[in-house]
Amino acid sequence: MIDDTPGETVPGNARPKAPGWLEILAGGAAYAASFLLVAVLLPLVENVAIQGVVGLFVSGAMGLIAFAVAAVVRIRGLAAFGVRRAKPHHILVAALLGLVAYLLGTVTAIVYMTVSGDVQNVQTSYQAAADAGWWSLALVFVAGATITPLGEEAFFRGVLANAVFARYRAWIAVLVSAAIFAVAHGINPVLPVAFVVGVLTALLFRWSGSIWPGVVLHGVNNATALLVPLLVAPAGV
């Protein structure tokens, strides 16, 4: 059972003081600046496959930059941001939930597209990169299943959700942090998928006090999303 009251992410004094609004604002400003820079420069890459690989690495880098800025503003200890060891059962549950997240995300994306009529594919560059050969696929897998989850979990859970958990009830923190995480992915069919991942990783963070279970869930979800289209594609396509 997850405690619904504001305060420490884990009971007692096992956890240092959580980040606050200053860390959210500093990290958010760094993330927004990085996002704008990428939005201007990434389209200049003409090769779609290369654009996909670079985009995935940059996605993780944006989160890591935002996390680093937030971490040096006031709080020096990384444990305060959830960079602390997780227990084996937390990791196991996270891996299983990664598959659940993929299934739920797929269903919610289908519902979103059916209701909204928005059927745009905003991940064509990622798919092109995955189809461009083994080296490209390996880079996509490393970026999508490790770098991106690490960067996004470090900022969106280690800073954002962490700070909101410390000040509001758990259900508010889960929904607010997941909604912001979803909107950061744009208003498109990926939005509901990101919301599902945001909810589950926020709950894992609340339960474990560590960002690592969220990184595992996020990585399993992304890896599955990358591999399934390749496995089900018709031969010769």
pLDDT digits over 154-172, tens only?
999 999 999 999 999 999 9
Cβ neighbours of residue 203 closer than 8 Å, sequence gap 6 or more:
2, 174
Interatomic CA distance for residues 228 and 98, integer angstroms: 14
> Has residue 7 been placed in a domain?
no
pLDDT number for residue 211:
98
Residue found by looking up tokens 């420490």 in the block: 8
> Has residue 8 been placed in a domain?
no
The total number of structural domains in the chain stands at: 1
* CA 10 from centre of chain: 21
Domain that holds residue 117: 21-80+87-232
Give pLDDT tens digits for 94-108: 999 999 999 999 999
pLDDT number for residue 10:
46
> Has residue 4 been placed in a domain?
no
> Has residue 178 been placed in a domain?
yes
Give pLDDT tens digits for 172-206: 999 999 999 999 999 999 999 999 999 999 999 99
> Has residue 13 been placed in a domain?
no
Interatomic CA distance for residues 59 and 125, integer angstroms: 13
Angle 46-39-159 (CA atoms, 0-180°, nearest 5)?
135
Q: Are 222 and 149 in contact (CB under 8 A)?
A: yes
- The 3-state DSSP composition of the chain as helix, strand, coil percent (nearest 5) reads 75, 0, 25
Q: By CB neighbour count within 10 A (0-12 exposed, 13-18 middle, 19+ buried), where does 233 fall? A: exposed
Q: Are 62 and 183 in contact (CB under 8 A)?
A: no
> Has residue 3 been placed in a domain?
no
Radius of gyration of the chain (CA): 18
